[in-house]
Chains A and B, each alone.
Chain A
Amino acid sequence: MASSALPRRSNPGTDATAPPGSWRSYALEGVTQHLQESESLQVLDFGGLNQANLDYVTGLGHRLYAEDLLRAYDSFFTPQEQSSREVSNARLEEFLEQTFVFPDQSCDGALVWDTLQFMPLPVAAGVVDRLHRILSANAPVLAFFHREISGPVAPSMCRVTDSKHLSVESRPWKREIEPFPPRAIEKLFGKFRSVKFYLTRGNQQEVIARR
């Protein structure tokens, strides 16, 4: 796996092309470039579908599979499993089978946003492992990680405003999240061919991993 751990800072203040309320996302740019180069791709959005992402992806002629990964996690695992943040392998496998209903290497890109951080590490690792299985070669995964954690955090609703810009809103609930330093992220995406990091607004870590 090749990784580029040097953070590249995007400065929304100097980006005159940013639509109002949006900022430039270099990791998103990597994904949209991939989407614009190919046709009829199968793209996965795990952040809870919104109209902007739907319009953007289908507007390029691709199919969009949507699943709200956090809601799926909440409805599958019991409150006891969620509070202990430990799940058995059998339960994890059942969750993955139910959530990722795709043949191997049949998908061409995944928008994970910041969902991984809101699940216990074993579940997040299981999700990334399953993504590696269902994604085709060179397919990108876009993920965000909150860096400064002081108490519960609201998950993000990310909207693609154009090929380079995102607008992000907080969803209406908060919860404890897993800290993910860059080394942990590299380890999480260890099976992937490359991982690139970008530091963006709000001190979030943007990550683009390629299968």
Chain B
Amino acid sequence: MSMWNRSKKEDELPQRHTITPAPAEPAKEAIPMATYPTKTAEFGTTRGAAVLGRSLLITGHVTGKEDLIVDGRVEGDIELLENRLTVGASGHVQGGIRAREIVVLGTVQGNLEASERVEIKKNARVVGDLKAQRPVIEDEAYFKGNVETIRVDKPKPAPAPALAPEGAQAAAAAQGAPRPVQQTMTPNSKPESRP
């Protein structure tokens, strides 16, 4: 037996021993493929989202606590305050939408209000007012209405301790050193115009 053959057989041996037969899996039922991916980079995670199919029409108020993808038609308001609503390319919503996140690829006739983000994708059509913390509108999306951003007040940082004693600051001022400018921005304030 040559050295090469021996080593080859030795390499193969552990593999044979480690291979264990897989337990017999129960027969799976045929599950129809979802038309939406479970995860895409574009829309984020849509795992577990309920889908309203293309041929479905709902008339009335829709509310719930799970993500929803509308590929069909909804005539009425949709309220998913803690979740994401996606209006698919073939989706049509005639009514107001309130959700944590709203993504529109289809058509919406009604106001959109999101506590976080609203995304209106290319070729989407939205007629209504939009209110969100982060409105995102792609080029060539049709949008008609008012846009208003929701401002979130960040907690004010604690005042920084003095870096230098007052005497040193006074000496620096006397030497003509530029004084630090402190400018506080509040949601509706304008930057101060300085001469």
Contact = CB atoms under 8 A, between A and B. Distances in A.
Interface of A: 36-37, 39-40, 48-51, 54, 58-61, 63-68, 71-72, 157, 172
A58 B137 contact: no
A61 B146 contact: no
Contact of B148 (A36, A37, A63): A63
Contact of B144 (A50, A51, A66, A157): A66
Contacts of A58: 135, 147-149
B186 to A, nearest CB: 9
B17 interface: no
A173 to B, nearest CB: 11
Judged by DSSP, the binding face of B is strand
B142 A63 contact: no
Interface in B140-195: 140-149, 187-191
A36 B145 contact: no
A11 B172 CA distance: 41
Given A39-B188, A50-B137, A51-B136, A63 B146 contact: yes
A49 B149 CA distance: 15
B139 interface: yes
Nearest to A67: B144
26 contacts: A36-B190, A37-B190, A39-B188, A39-B190, A48-B139, A48-B140, A48-B142, A49-B141, A49-B143, A50-B137, A54-B137, A54-B147, A58-B148, A58-B149, A60-B190, A61-B188, A61-B190, A63-B148, A64-B148, A65-B145, A65-B146, A66-B143, A66-B145, A66-B147, A68-B142, A72-B144
A63 B147 contact: yes
A21 B71 CA distance: 39
Nearest to B149: A58
A67 B129 CA distance: 11
Contacts of B147: 49, 54, 58, 63-66
Contacts of B139: 48, 50, 157
Contacts of B148: 58, 63-64
B145 A71 contact: no
Contacts of A65: 145-147
Contacts of A37: 190
Contacts of B189: 61
Given A61-B188, A66-B145, 19 more contacts: A37-B190, A48-B139, A49-B141, A49-B143, A49-B147, A50-B139, A51-B136, A51-B137, A54-B135, A54-B147, A58-B148, A61-B190, A63-B147, A66-B146, A66-B147, A67-B144, A68-B143, A71-B142, A72-B144
Contacts of A66: 143-147
Nearest to A72: B144
A157 B135 CA distance: 19
Contacts of A172: 140
A58 B150 CA distance: 10
Contacts of B149: 58-59
A38 to B, nearest CB: 9
A59 B187 CA distance: 9
A65 B145 CA distance: 5
Contacts of A54: 135, 137, 147
B188 A40 contact: yes
Interface in B68-94: none
Nearest to B127: A67
A36 B189 CA distance: 10
